[in-house]
A and B are shown apart, each in its own frame.
Chain A
Amino acid sequence: MKTKNLKRKLIRQRDLFFMIIPVMVYVFVFSYLPLRGWTMAFQFYRPQREVQEWVGLDQFRFLFTDAAFFRVMQNTLGMSFINLVLGFTCAIFLALMMNEIRQMKFKRVVQTISYMPHFLSWVIATALISDFLSSTGILNTLLINIGIYETPNIFLANKDYFWWIVGWGNVWKSVGWNTIIYLAAITSIDPQLYESAALDGAGRFRKIWHITLPGIKSTILVLVIMNIGWILNAGFEVQWLLSNNLTIEKAETIDVFVIRYGINLRNYSLATAMGIFKTVSSIILLTSANWLSKRLVKESLV
């Protein structure tokens, strides 16, 4: 009885299978097949050798016992967390506010301009950020003029500011670009909902709070969950470009660590080991976030 049922379902869904199987084959070839390379993490890989030397978990041992590892881990998590919170709140807030613009032309202009920094490379963006923060920059001039400081504060020389500078720098560069997805999601909201809310006498804020925000809730959730999986990817370019010897202690992320101790020393095995570590952590984080989201808001990725 049950198998018969299953069989009938299979037949009914055969179109879906035909549609998805080619995609799965593609994904297997391009994403899973190269994972053969993970064996490198358990070797001391040297190029052009038929036989590699197997070293077991030595590479992992090196990673986890290195004193620098915990420092870079802390920096990575710290900056990622700030990026996540600032990034999401700012993008959602901006998207909601943009959606409230009534002047269509103005709305378009604001939108177009807001994503422009996305097209600047980090080299240019960080140069502008350090101009802004320099002793003769706009921020110091302003703070001195309104009497908060007497002498300029050299922000980039203070390691305690570093995470926040990176966080706000990220917001500035990508907030406009990140609003696009929310604006697209807002379009799927049924306009009738607004109309009936207006009849009920709901104000702007109530409409935002009770219609728009719930309308994009699943998009937000999905993005948050996926980004939690990426928490160990705090990047390295911004940190590399914006840090200096005075702030380096707070600036090095695990990506920087891999570049210095893996890539630059051409220890491919170490870099691969770090890749495996990141993958495993990501999957654990993702699963937990997914589970939590399912429990709390009954919505999830899987």
Chain B
Amino acid sequence: MKKEKFKLSTRAWNNIFDISNGLFMLFIVVIMLYPFLNTLAVSLNNATDSIKGGIYLWPRMFTLRNYEVVFENELLLTAFINSVSRTLLSTVGGLFMCSIAAYVLSRQEFLVNAVVTVFFLMTMYISPGLIPVYFLYRDLGLINNFWVYVLPGLFSAFNVIVIRTYMMALPDSLVEAARIDGSGEFQTFIRIVLPLCKPVLATVGLWIAVGNWNDWFSSFIFAPARTELTTLQYELMKVLSSSMAQMSNQQAGAIAAQGAQAFQNISPVAIRATITIIAAVPILCVYPFLQKYFVKGVHVGSVKG
């Protein structure tokens, strides 16, 4: 009797929890979606009109002109190809390097584990400054070279630690079993451990990809002289900064006749919104493919039994 009652209230309690959690998530959805919708609306609104502000969820004066301005760029295709290649190469290379390091460090019996961990960890907190880095890259022949986008950024101590933590949480029995089978370390790593690490690799891969995709600074400092090495973000930054320049160009006195049409049809507010959307869309498209790894998880349980 008593037990029955208890069960019922648990279910009720569960429902209350689910409903309030659902409401909370709705609230999260609203405050997180709003900025994006707002940016989209601004990007679709007349640029001059946008200066006035007060655009919320819907464009006031609809136009595709802002997108046209961005897509007029002669270098956009080159830039896109470069961005995609560097993102792919960096993600694959970065994941490989970080997970190798993580695998070795996840083995606590490894003789020099502590030393190597410290050696890696320190890199997160030392900043040599831009100029010495430039000199290093120049010595390595990386200036104005495509590989400057990929090579220097393959390693990240942060990512190593995150992957290592995940690996250490995996049941030991798996690795032990492999070792008894007599397979070498490298094979154990590739065949057994890596497949089990899909969720964390998806996470870290996303970080590396987003970081590379959004990086315009290396083009700016390390490859400014080579237009064929430009990246999407760098071109987008160019459009943005030139829209700022146009704003002050009017001052150049070229236009005295401030007649009725004498207003620009481009403004940094609108361009910034437009390039944000353009840059974010590819990542929003890739995300669902990775997402299943976070949502579902792996069935480690089965191996244990």
Contact = CB atoms under 8 A, between A and B. Distances in A.
Decide if A and B touch, CB cutoff 8 A: yes
Contact of A114 (B28, B186, B279): B28
B255 interface: no
A226 B276 contact: no
A98 B25 contact: yes
Interface stretch (B63-71, B95-103, B257-265): B95-103
A176 B35 contact: no
30 contacts: A13-B110, A19-B100, A20-B100, A26-B97, A27-B155, A32-B123, A40-B132, A97-B25, A102-B18, A108-B288, A112-B284, A114-B28, A116-B36, A121-B272, A124-B35, A128-B35, A184-B199, A184-B200, A185-B166, A188-B169, A188-B200, A188-B298, A191-B301, A218-B168, A229-B125, A275-B127, A278-B127, A283-B122, A283-B125, A302-B118
Contacts of A15: 184-186
A119 B100 contact: no
Contacts of A188: 166, 169-170, 199-200, 297-298, 300
A117 B32 contact: yes
A91 interface: no
A186 B297 contact: yes
Interface string B274-305: 00100110011001100101111111110010
B38 A128 contact: yes
Nearest to A94: B28
Interface in B1-60: 10, 13-14, 17-18, 21-22, 24-25, 28-29, 31-36, 38-39, 53
Contacts of A176: 28, 32
Contacts of A275: 127-129
B287 A19 contact: no
A180 B35 contact: no
Contacts of B133: 34, 37
Given A119-B276, A121-B272, A189-B297, 6 more contacts: A36-B132, A37-B128, A120-B39, A183-B294, A185-B200, A192-B304
Contacts of B200: 184-185, 188
Nearest to B290: A180
Given A184-B203, A187-B296, A302 B121 contact: yes
A230 B280 CA distance: 27
A187 B294 contact: yes
B126 interface: yes
Contacts of B29: 109-110, 113-114
B254 interface: no
Contacts of B119: 24, 27
Interface residues of B, number: 93
Interface in A99-126: 100-102, 104, 106-117, 119-121, 123-125
A20 B116 contact: yes
Interface stretch (B78-86, B157-165, B217-225, B245-253): B157-165
A203 B287 CA distance: 33
A10 B185 contact: no
A181 B39 CA distance: 27
A158 interface: no
Interface string A252-282: 0000000000000000100110010011001
B126 A111 contact: no
Interface residues of A, number: 85
Contacts of B104: 16, 19-20
Interface of B: 10, 13-14, 17-18, 21-22, 24-25, 28-29, 31-36, 38-39, 53, 97, 100-101, 103-105, 107, 109-111, 114, 116-129, 131-133, 135-136, 140, 151-152, 154-155, 158, 161-162, 165-166, 168-171, 184-186, 189, 199-200, 202-203, 206, 272-273, 276, 279-280, 283-284, 287-288, 291, 293-301, 304
Contact of B295 (A6, A111, A124, A218): A111
A190 B132 CA distance: 47
Q: What are the nearest 10 A-B pairs in CB distance?
A: A37-B132, A187-B297, A15-B185, A34-B128, A282-B125, A34-B132, A31-B123, A184-B199, A119-B280, A187-B199
A60 interface: no
A27 B169 CA distance: 26
B54 to A, nearest CB: 9
Contacts of A38: 128, 132
Contacts of A32: 123, 126
A110 B125 contact: no
A243 B248 CA distance: 24
A15 B126 CA distance: 30
A108 B165 contact: no
A207 B300 CA distance: 19
Contact of A271 (B111, B118, B129, B165): B129
